Copies of this chain bind each other. A is one copy, B any other.
Amino acid sequence: MPVNRGHLLTLLWAGSAYALFPDCVNGPLKNNTLCNTSASPAERARALVSLYTLEEKINATGSTAPGVPRLGIPPYEWWSEGLHGIAGPFTNFSDEGDYSYSTSFPQPILMGAAFDDELITAVATVISTEARAFNNANRTGLDFWTPNINPFRDPRWGRGQETPGEDPYHLSSYVHALIKGLQGDASDPYKRVVATCKHFAGYDVESWNGNLRYQFDAQISQQDLVEYYLPPFQSCARDSNVGAFMCSYNSVNGVPTCADPYLLQTILREHWGWTNEEQWVTSDCDAVQNIFLPHQWSSSREQAAADALIAGTDVNCGTYMPDHLPSAFAQGLVNETVLDQALVRQYSSLVRLGYFDAPENQPYRQLGFESVATNASQQLAYKAAVEGIVLLKNDGVLPLSLDSSTSLGLFGDWANATSDLLGNYAGISTYLHSPLWAAQQLNVTVNYAQGPGGQGDPTTGSWLSIWPAADASDVIIYVGGINNGVEAEGMDRGSIAWTGAQLDVIGQLAQQGKPMVVVQMGGGQIDSSPIANNPNISALLWGGYPGQDGGVAILDIITGKAAPAGRLPTTQYPASFINEVPMTDMSLRPGRSNPGRTYKWYNGTAVFEFGTGLHYTNFTASIKSNTSSSYAISDLMTICKDSNAKYPDLCSFGAPVQVEVTNTGKTTSDYVTLAYLAGNFGPAPHPKKSLVSYQRLFAINGGSSDTANLNLTLGSLARVDEKGNKVLYPGDYSLLIDNKPLTMLNFTLTGDQVILENWPQPPTNRTGKGVSGFEGYFVGGYGSDQKPVSIGY
């Protein structure tokens, strides 16, 4: 057994108290370059690291860093969470009074449905503001392990709720807006907080049929990797200057991502130019341990710690690096240069956060609890919920006309929801306004009965109080679906159908023949065709996890105080979809044992398509731009080159397309302009269409118009070939406005195809050293060993 196993850390691990800031005025390092604000962050970090002993350096590789007391460097906890508000195991809420609550926004899946990037920046700005206030009170850190920006590939994924949806363009745009709000502008001398794009890469299986995230090897073709799995991460690294990345639990094509230099060095740092010293990679929690077991990539514990560090993992969430690097150094498995590099990255990042600088000159260091849960923040949480909620069916009964004589029946397990409103990774919110609470604020009679349940035994006993309450009601609202009991971290779904118990109760309620509204809750979609097809059910909404004011948002839409304009950010597949493809089949295109995934490739009939969303009015659209019907590719490339663009895929494709949207009805309403590209350009198979731009227009009055300006780039037009190169092909293109579509624009590209981006190819012969005695031990379940036909590497 190796010695020096960092027993020091034992003392720190359990603690949630936060260290004070280092003291560059009176501390031991006041004259060190570290404290010289004129020096660059990297110079300052190098000056500090050069003072560390090897043991002190190694101790700094864990997420709960002990600091170096002799140098006045306090302990630091790298792990904070801020998915939709500050949260997580290391955020310390007070029991009462100041710092006992914060603002809790909807889950990203519902905020994604808003298709409103400015909203996302505003929300993220609130989160980073509240984070700074809590940090100043020594109640959380400065590094937030958010966003989860893996595309929501399979409806079974338990953590799909944490993402904005299934479309890579949408995610790329969303995450750019989010990072801006979390980190602030690049020109700001200090970052607001550091955001962390996770989980890099190919992570979207928790626990499906024996495939645990800790051991799952995602087999992904080079084409799918570049076309689908990586665009949001490219947006983070190349285009949004995100401060941190997190490598994931899974392997990609055989290599655990935290030990994969192809992902962490070749793609992330070299190809995407993510080479600023202040940028670092953390492992997911204990993903370094998992490199040894269950992945069996490295032949020993020491080798796993070394492999991760060498590949470019700079922080180990957990203790495996501090525990096993001493022995790895003793065995010569790793050298101090690579360790220094990791530490310089860590401390450069802290410098950019103002960690070492005097608080007087830092606005963020002045923030206190008066900046937390402000009226404006609460209103923003409400607005985010309203903007995301999607109307899927309406026979005209919505919005409901209520008066004081109305008797409103409210049923379903979400009707009186509390923490369910928030979903996972939630902090303590200011309040939790359920649909029942919201209904009770109206001047109507409310009849509520608990139930129907459906997870426990028996359930029918809890149904009996529903019937007299329904008998007494004029209108029936059922709020149900799924929650974190069936979709969660570590838990993928085994069914995407409504439970029989819920459908039984819904069906009995519908038999009353009264106006009836169903609100489908939860992040992953469930097949609502039995509700859509039931003529006795008047309306159907999807409400996701709507956050602290979610019940009010739902009731305001139902009663017409607000108008719905959200769009589904994922495909609602039929229940039978999960019978047609194993969750572990990562391929997007349809194949022998795969009906295809997402609205681009699914060859079945969706219950509700990606982008679906009704309104309380009707809209028309027309394209106002003067555009050409034909473009020479060579001309497009010349213009692009003349613009000195670093990345040709970001070059504009002409001027923004102006789309005039007219509200032809009476109800004032937002409208989300979705622009898809379709056409038979490039090699078959072709996607049905691809989202290339979107813009939300606000509060268009009946009879009025507004104009969306949609930016298209050469990248919008490009497709990805089998090697992962982005290619501009000649051919016929159609720009479709909205799902129906409301209008369209056709044009042609002529001339020879051009590669916009050459993708770096993976090395060959990448095999782990293995751990003897475990051959075939950590296996997934039956029917999960299907591989896509061609694998890039």
Contact = CB atoms under 8 A, between A and B. Distances in A.
Nearest to A10: B464
Most buried by B among A210, A507, A574: A210
A1 B494 contact: no
Given A501-B293, A784-B783, A210 B578 contact: yes
B578 A286 contact: no
Contact of A290 (B284, B301, B465, B500): B500
A778 interface: yes
B575 A458 contact: no
Given A207-B494, A773-B530, A779 B576 contact: yes
A284 B780 CA distance: 32
Interface stretch (A51-59, A96-104, A580-588, A623-631): A580-588
A290 to B, nearest CB: 6
A292 interface: yes
- Identical subunits present: 2
A289 B583 CA distance: 31
A461 B318 contact: yes
A424 B459 CA distance: 20
Q: Which of A504, A512, A576 has most chain B Cβ within 10 Å?
A: A504
B781 A209 contact: yes
A527 B575 contact: no
Nearest to A511: B1
Contacts of A782: 209, 578-583, 783-784
Interface string A499-541: 1110110011001100000000000000101100110000000
Contact of A317 (B458, B507, B784): B458
Contacts of A504: 289, 292-293, 301
B13 A500 contact: no
Contacts of A495: 210, 212, 778-779, 781
Interface string A679-714: 000000000000000000000000000000000000
A286 B776 contact: no
Contacts of A781: 209, 494-495, 578-579
A780 B579 contact: yes
Nearest to A579: B779
B289 A501 contact: yes
A647 interface: no
A290 B500 CA distance: 7
Contacts of A777: 497, 527, 529-530, 575-576
A5 B467 contact: yes
Given A210-B494, A781-B579, A9 B464 contact: yes
A215 interface: yes
A295 B499 CA distance: 11
B579 A464 contact: no
Per DSSP, chain A at the interface is loop
Interface size class of A (residues with CB under 8 A): 35 or more
Nearest to A527: B777
A774 B292 contact: no
Given A779-B575, A780-B579, A782-B581, A500 B319 contact: no
A542 interface: no
Nearest to A461: B13
A783 B317 contact: no
A6 interface: yes
B1 A468 contact: no
Interface in A740-793: 773-774, 776-785
A122 interface: no
A1 B286 contact: no
Contacts of A294: 499-500, 503
Interface string A642-673: 00000000000000000000000000000000
Nearest to A249: B457
Contacts of A212: 494-495
A285 interface: yes
A781 to B, nearest CB: 5
A411 B314 CA distance: 31
A462 B211 CA distance: 24
Interface string A226-256: 0000000000000000000000000000000
Nearest to A212: B495
Interface in A455-509: 455, 457-465, 467-468, 470-471, 490, 494-495, 497, 499-501, 503-504, 507-508
A323 interface: yes
Contact of A319 (B7, B295, B464): B464
14 contacts: A6-B464, A64-B461, A210-B495, A212-B494, A294-B499, A318-B461, A319-B463, A495-B779, A529-B777, A574-B776, A575-B776, A581-B782, A783-B783, A783-B784
Among all A-B residue pairs, the 5 with the closest Cβ atoms: A783-B783, A294-B500, A293-B500, A285-B458, A285-B457
Given A212-B494, A320-B460, 14 more contacts: A7-B464, A7-B467, A285-B457, A293-B504, A301-B504, A318-B458, A495-B781, A575-B778, A576-B776, A578-B779, A579-B780, A582-B782, A582-B783, A583-B782
